[in-house]
Structure 1
Amino acid sequence: MAHPSMLGFQDAASPVMEELIHFHDHALMIVIMVSTLVFYMIVTTVSTQLTNKYIIDSQEIEVVWTILPAGILILIALPSLNILYLMDEIDDPHLTIKAVGHQWYWSYEYTDYEDLGFDAYMVPTQDLLPGQFRLLETDHRVVVPMETPIRVMVSAEDVLHSWAVPALGVKLDAVPGRLNQTAFITGRPGLFYGQCSEICGANHSFMPIVVEAVPLKHFEDWSSLMLEDA
């Protein structure tokens, strides 16, 4: 969960988010090295005899500043392609959840069960319980079993929305008439908060998402209780 004055990402709760954080750190180190090298060359050029035209017009330097950026792009591209394929991998999901965006709330269907579904609205500020977060808490949470492959299919009823949970490394557009899908695995129990990340109208900022990861036994108890109440 993010907190005031926080720098960086939230703690990763899925393997994909861990890889995204590692890639961010990898790319940031490259950016720092490139920025340092360019700054050094600028300072050196304006303050020493490197301004000599024979140095600036050197064929060797032109070869270096052509090959070096190409090598840097390869160092960035290879790990990013690996993560892209990892994020698109949906291999034998154990549970499928359909999330549909509306103005301005989410509705969910657990497609492996016949009658398990609900709408999730933001809890008004005056109804919040101690410990709950303003503008982030919902009246129904998306309960999932931890350490289990979960597939999420996302669509929208009216306008463009986006189903995003930063700690899980998930951000998927909800497009009317189209069904997009992604997958995630929660590596630990907990509550993971997100919001609609598409400007979808006046109440865009009031479409929170709460994913609750629990042990499998607790999920079975919850799903049985929800089916009895349906």
Structure 2
Amino acid sequence: MRIEKIFFLCDAPEFAQLRLQDPSTTTMEGLIAFNKHLLFVMTIIVVLVGWLLFATISNYDEFNTQKSQSFFHSNALEIVWTSLPALTLLNLASPSFTLLYSMDEISTPEISVKIIGHQWYWSYEISDFDTMATCMDSDKTLKYTCYLLTEESISQKNYLGFFRLLETNKRVLLPSNTHLRLLVTSVDVLHSWAIPSFGVKVDACPGRLNQVNVFLKRIGMFFGQCSEICGVNHGFMPIALLVVPSIQYHYFVVSKLF
């Protein structure tokens, strides 16, 4: 059985989707956890401020002529309304900085993936197969050129069940449980390579390499799109990745390059 036919669809946008996609990296797990923490704190603040506004409107309207109590000075009150917002911001900043640090952390990659943005498609060069050094020439490189799969092609029998505007003519194969280094650049204008399930969004700038490390924790199909307006066909630059077990990827690379 061809390895390209073995996939498990697990991460794709849904109609009227409100939740985040399932995480496939530690980075995305951290982003989801921080999002939940942020929403919890925001809910408390909204309820507190809403209650204060409601109490003020209810007790002091145009028909209530009773003189309100006057405050000229209160050290305790000043300490509370200064320290409470500061502690709240600290509570939000601490996990945020931790997450930012972990996203920039560089580990020793086993495979390097060079991602090149074009108007309006993506190309990939995969090299540095350190884990396969005993059976491969280090100069060997896998190359993909991935264009949008048109609706006419999807309607054909071989592509039934594929996603409109998300599928490409080739699916980039990557191994799971492997440290990957993504090097992103562009040959013409600004692009942005983004995969929601990875928690990754990397700008593709002409003449510059941007780097990010990912560790894919599970197999499946993962989709993304260009996230930087780059011209008339900006909305037609999909990303389709197929993540398979490492041993399966090993066999695929050997069969392709030898």
CA distance in 1, matches of 2:73, 2:192: 51
Q: Pick from 50, 64, 77 the counterpart of residue 39 of structure 1.
A: 50
Larger displacement relative to structure 2 (60-69 or 191-200): 60-69
CA distance in 2, matches of 1:188, 1:56: 61
CA deviation after TM superposition for structure 1 residue 9, in Å:
0.1
CA deviation after TM superposition for structure 1 residue 89, in Å:
1.2
Deviations for 1:133-190, whole angstroms, at most 9, x for unmatched residues?
0111111222111011111000000000000000011100001111000011111110
Which 5+ residue runs of structure 1 have no aligned equivalent? none
2:181: which partner in 1?
151
2:229: which partner in 1?
199
- Kindly tell me: are residues 56 and 103 of structure 1, through their superposed partners in 2, closer, same or farther at Cα, counting changes over 3 Å? farther
CA distance in 2, matches of 1:97, 1:51: 71
**Partner amino acid for 2:142?**
L
CA distance in 1, matches of 2:124, 2:67: 65
2:164: which partner in 1?
134
Deviations for 1:167-218, whole angstroms, at most 9, x for unmatched residues?
0111000011110000111111100000000000000011111121101122
CA distance in 2, matches of 1:143, 1:16: 21
Which 5+ residue runs of structure 2 have no aligned equivalent? 1-11, 61-65, 129-138
- 8 Å CA contact 1:45–1:51 kept in 2: the answer is no
Q: Pick from 133, 140, 143 the counterpart of residue 117 of structure 1.
A: 143
Q: Pick from 178, 189, 196 the counterpart of residue 166 of structure 1.
A: 196
Larger displacement relative to structure 2 (65-74 or 23-32): 65-74
- 8 Å CA contact 2:144–2:172 kept in 1: the answer is no
**Partner amino acid for 2:223?**
Y
1:1-230 pair list within 5 angstroms: 1-48=12-59, 52=68, 54-55=70-71, 58-112=74-128, 113-128=139-154, 129-228=159-258
CA deviation after TM superposition for structure 1 residue 55, in Å:
4.3
Question: What TM-score, normalized to structure 1?
Answer: 0.93
CA distance in 1, matches of 2:67, 2:76: 16
- Kindly tell me: are residues 51 and 41 of structure 1, through their superposed partners in 2, closer, same or farther at Cα, counting changes over 3 Å? farther
CA distance in 2, matches of 1:26, 1:136: 31
- 8 Å CA contact 1:154–1:181 kept in 2: the answer is yes
CA distance in 2, matches of 1:209, 1:57: 61
Question: What TM-score, normalized to structure 2?
Answer: 0.83
CA deviation after TM superposition for structure 1 residue 56, in Å:
8.1
- Kindly tell me: are residues 44 and 61 of structure 1, through their superposed partners in 2, closer, same or farther at Cα, counting changes over 3 Å? farther
- 8 Å CA contact 1:161–1:173 kept in 2: the answer is yes
- Kindly tell me: are residues 184 and 210 of structure 1, through their superposed partners in 2, closer, same or farther at Cα, counting changes over 3 Å? same
CA distance in 2, matches of 1:183, 1:74: 28
Sequence identity (%): 43
**What SS class does the counterpart of residue 70 from structure 2 fall into?**
helix
- Kindly report the root-mean-square deviation, in angstroms, between the aligned alpha carbons of the 2 structures: 1.8
Larger Rg: 2
**What SS class does the counterpart of residue 182 from structure 1 fall into?**
strand
CA distance in 2, matches of 1:149, 1:109: 16
